[in-house]
Structure 1
């Protein structure tokens, strides 16, 4: 179910395997290349949950929103199962659930909203940040770190520095793309919505355990707009608003090089 053309798969595609298990059921496997500190990177999980819905032959429309709840850790060796269900299918909107199961326990679940995009009023109120282009920035030095970071090419703009202070802004800007310049589509856009480092890293000099609890992604880009981006860099902008009682939020935006807002995202994270 990964590439019917016979062309070689990009690493991102190969890391999201889907094999039919039965009606509304798919088998998959975790991929250590997209590993975070103690388990799969949340962006990989989001992409897999979305891909399972888009693999269903009777889905209609393109993604306009999804909310993912990350409920438990995943083992790197045990097989995964994905169960999808169309909660409601209408003429203009569809609502699907996608559940990731391992060892008979639910590890993550998403509500995916599909919509039929139409020619309507078009306006662009959000303002594209005026930042230097990616070609003007030096690639960061390669260093040991989280595995999934090596699967992307990132160019960091001057801004907040992690683990440096107890205050100040947590806003950062990063140009990022797949390391193989894989063309942008909805699963990859869902993954990039979680490419931001946790904002608490920019608020505290202390290294703290942290994990995403819930993430919502709004897909503003049309398929044609994603195709126009291709394998180019996307500008990832992120900031936090409040840290309190073991939880914090973070908001992110993803922009094309020419200033088109591709997606927005909200996260709730747990921390110590």
Structure 2
């Protein structure tokens, strides 16, 4: 049986640079479709267009331009430049002729280089077995959260009224599936906004864009079916209805998989 995530994020070729998507119900986020599945679909389409597993995704930027809805959509892929080592691609998801999502990505081959550096202290939050499982649907969170199991690590939780605007949580797909690149991209957008840990009641929020940096080859042996990843997120500024967020995604084995910066909008009336 095909996994629900694959059913709604796998593009079907429809012509040169054009694919069709069947965006299924069950992945809602308020009045829109969950942006993570749109980002995942764009990632799939661009990766397929590159057609070279050695030319790995290095960075991805996704803009959520207007709400998408369940149903048919088109995915348009272009390659502005493909050089010896690096390829630059763009993707657009369209419904009724309107752009709902715009993405750009950089893919690159490994280079011969002596220097290497990693400034990423261990998160110190324990493993998923040490964290508190919370059924997100029971907290009034979006429809798409039914597809993900959430376990909160640390002291901060949404609507906890805490001093820090941060959220740390372990996530895995409710229906087991290996965590490949599209799944990881979706999970980077699947956590509750860090700012909500300062709140004491619901505040509608949505991602306007996200910018992902990948850290080399994925450790596939740490990302098999049923494995979890840890998302650590922190908001350092919010005001005038907007907020920023810095996140990191870790494997159970402690490997830093990706980093993400997001711009969010929130809707709070006095």
Give the TM-score normalised by structure 2.
Answer: 0.90
Q: Per-residue CA shift, 1:22-59, capped at 9, x if unaligned?
A: 10000112222222122111111110111111222656
Q: Does 1:63 align with 2:63?
A: no
Identify which of 124, 131, 154 aligns with 1:130: 124
1:91 is aligned to 84
* Distance in 1 separating the partners of 2:76 and 2:94: 8
Between stretches 60-69 and 206-215, larger displacement belongs to 206-215
Q: Per-residue CA shift, 1:60-97, capped at 9, x if unaligned?
A: 711111000100011323x2001000011011111000
Q: Secondary structure at the match of 1:253?
A: strand
* Distance in 2 separating the partners of 1:136 and 1:200: 23
Residues 146-225 of structure 1: pairs in structure 2 closer than 5 A: 146-165=142-161, 168-223=163-218, 225=219
Q: How many residues align?
A: 262
Q: Identify unmatched segments of 5+ residues in structure 2.
A: none
Q: 1:138 to 1:200 in 2, by over 3 A?
A: closer
Q: How far 1:129 sits from its partner (Å)? A: 0.9
Between stretches 183-192 and 8-17, larger displacement belongs to 8-17
* Distance in 2 separating the partners of 1:43 and 1:237: 17
2:14 is aligned to 21
Q: Does 1:52 align with 2:45?
A: yes
Q: How far 1:125 sits from its partner (Å)? A: 1.7
* Distance in 2 separating the partners of 1:57 and 1:158: 40
1:75 is aligned to 69
Q: Secondary structure at the match of 1:29?
A: strand
Q: Secondary structure at the match of 1:32?
A: coil
CA RMSD of aligned residues (A): 1.9
Q: How far 1:105 sits from its partner (Å)? A: 0.7
2:98 is aligned to 105
Q: Secondary structure at the match of 2:145?
A: helix
* Distance in 2 separating the partners of 1:53 and 1:25: 11
Q: Identify unmatched segments of 5+ residues in structure 1.
A: 1-7
